[in-house]
Amino acid sequence: MFYLWSIHNLNRQMNNQTTSIYLRFSFLFFLIILIGCKKEPEVVPPTPDPQPQQYGTPFTKVPATEDIVMYEINLRVFSSSRNIQGAIARLDSIKALGINTVWLMPIYPTASVKSVGSPYAIKDYESVNASLGTLADLRTFVEKAHELDMAVILDWVANHTAWDHEWITDKSWYAQDNAGNIIIPPGTNWQDVAELNYDNQDMRHAMIKAMKYWILEANVDGYRCDFATGVPGDFWKSAIDTLRNIPNREIIMFAESDDKTLLNADFDMVFGWPFYGKLVEIFDGQSAGQLYSTHQNEYSGLTDGQEVVRWITNHDQHAWDGTPQQIFKSEKGAMAAFVLASTMGGVPLLYNGQEVAVPQQLPFFEGNNVTINWDLNPEIKAEYKRLLQFRNQSSVLKQGNLAFYSNNDVVTFQKTSGSEEILVMVNVRNNTVNYSLPAAFANSTWKNVFTNEDVNLGNVVSLEGYGYFMLGR
């Protein structure tokens, strides 16, 4: 019995051991299978940087450069709302002046760090400043302008950013001193902005992408480029080539500089600082005859499609130097100066409020409490409208050959194209001047270009203080 029990017990132990070995082997086999079948973690590709997309339909009526009549809007004084919506409400009035291109001063978020309130201290190149409106507001502005056959250009600041721009986290994107500190633009006292480093190719690419953004996402038609000489010409060439290669686009590029070499980078226009400076000197008493050489020097070397922007005020001059009436001695003096700036040659520029002779200087930094009163001086506005509308329809005034006949007190020039002639005489003094006509014009008959009335000239023309004549035949 004991023997049988022992055999039975031995068999049970052997069965238990066999089962245990089997179970262990099965578990090991399961682990091997599980490990062999384990998937590698899925690699998620990085999200591509979103590219700007075309909004709306590209504008097909961008004016040729020589036909541009430009209007600068400072949103912070333009309306009581001080925003884009306030400017939309006056686009019809701007168009009625004879304007075909609107330049909006910077619409981007501005500095919080080291801020002085400048709209040119930009901390985000691809957003609209919330105090001015939204992207939808900007799109509406552009759509309305396009419906009125006006192009829209934005202000662009490529030389520097605000100190709290997101790019500042990568110091290599900024110019630095020998100690590795990011610097302000050399030769300036602009403490609120940091100088960009154009040796950094990643920064260049990001800048061009941001410039493409507004052409596509807001359907704008180009840029006025602030402090254009602070940026290398080869960057401008690359950026402008990129913008012009966007399908179905005509792009306006305007450099804030009188450096004509920027035209080699494919800018369309440069700023007429010398012409403006000479105008001021002439109205201060220099000989009127000096304006011709200044005009010739500005246009020397320019080719078809390249122009100089001419003006008697802009946001800088108005804010820091004085109103046109102060600089050119009176409301009539300001109009006389604008006649010269808009008819001798170049692209005329008006700054908002100029057409109603706003009497106070217009600041453009944030936080001001000045607003333009658009009900002022309707007769001056009518004169601007009359002058610009005639310029728009006169090919001889825009493109005719120029001949000068000025004396010390009267700027006189003739423009001819084929059989058409325009004769312009502007008294730059605040007193009546008797101007002796050159033999070519003495005892001749013309028409007043504004009234179409006959004008019979003798040997002398009497021009009242800051008076002018524009005659055609």
pTM: 0.90
pLDDT of res. 135:
98
Q: What does the angle CA 317 – CA 102 – CA 54 come to, to the nearest 5 degrees?
A: 135
Taking the chain, what is the end-to-end CA distance rounded to the nearest angstrom? 146
Biggest alpha carbon–alpha carbon distance for the chain:
158
Residue type, 238: S
User: How far from chain centre, in Å, is Cα 415?
Assistant: 30
Q: Give me the pLDDT at residue 51, please.
A: 83
CB 250 within 8 A of CB 268: no
- Do the Cβ atoms of 107 and 128 come closer than 8 Å? yes
19: CB partners within 8 A, 6+ apart: none
What count of other Cβ atoms lies within 10 Å of the Cβ of residue 358? 23
Domain annotation for the chain: domains and CATH numbers: 65-399 (3.20.20.80), 404-472 (2.60.40.1180)
Rg for the chain, CA atoms, rounded: 34
Q: Which residues of the chain have pLDDT under 50?
A: 1-38
pLDDT for position 48: 62
Which residues lie below 8 Å from residue 435, measured CB to CB, with a gap of 6+? Answer: 407, 409, 410, 412, 425, 427, 460, 461, 462, 463
Determine the pLDDT at residue 44: 54
> Does residue 448 contact residue 425 with C-beta atoms inside 8 Å?
no
Residues 372, 72: Cα–Cα separation, whole Å: 14
- Name residue 101's beta-bridge partners: 70, 151
Alpha carbons within 13 A on the beta-carbon side of 265: 26
Q: Which two tokens stand for residue 224?
A: 């006025």
On whether the CB atoms of residues 426 and 441 are closer than 8 A, the answer is: no
The 3-class SS string of the chain reads CHHHHHHHHHHHHHHHHHHHHHHHHHHHHHHHHHHHHCCCCCCCCCCCCCCCCCCCCCCCCCCCHHHCCEEEECHHHHCCCCCHHHHHCCHHHHHHHCCCEEEECCCCCECCCCCCCCCCCECCCCCCCCCCCCHHHHHHHHHHHHHCCCEEEEEEECCEEECCCHHHHCHHHECECCCCCECCCCCCCCCCEEEECCCCHHHHHHHHHHHHHHHHHCCCCEEEEECHHHCCHHHHHHHHHHHHCCCCCCCEEEECCCCHHHHHHCCCEEECHHHHHHHHHHHCCCCHHHHHHHHHHHHCCCCCCCEEEECCCCHHHHHHHCCHHHHCCCHHHHHHHHHHHHHCCCEEEEECCHHHCCCCCCCCCCCCCCCCCCCCCHHHHHHHHHHHHHHHHCHHHHHCEEEECCCCCEEEEEEEECCEEEEEEEECCCCCEEEECCCCCCCCEEEECCCCCEEECCCEEEECCCCEEEEEC
- What is the spatial distance between Cα 106 and Cα 73, in angstroms, rounded to a whole number? 10
- Residues 68/347, Cβ–Cβ less than 8 Å: yes
54: CB partners within 8 A, 6+ apart? 216, 219
- How far out from the chain centre does Cα 345 lie? 21
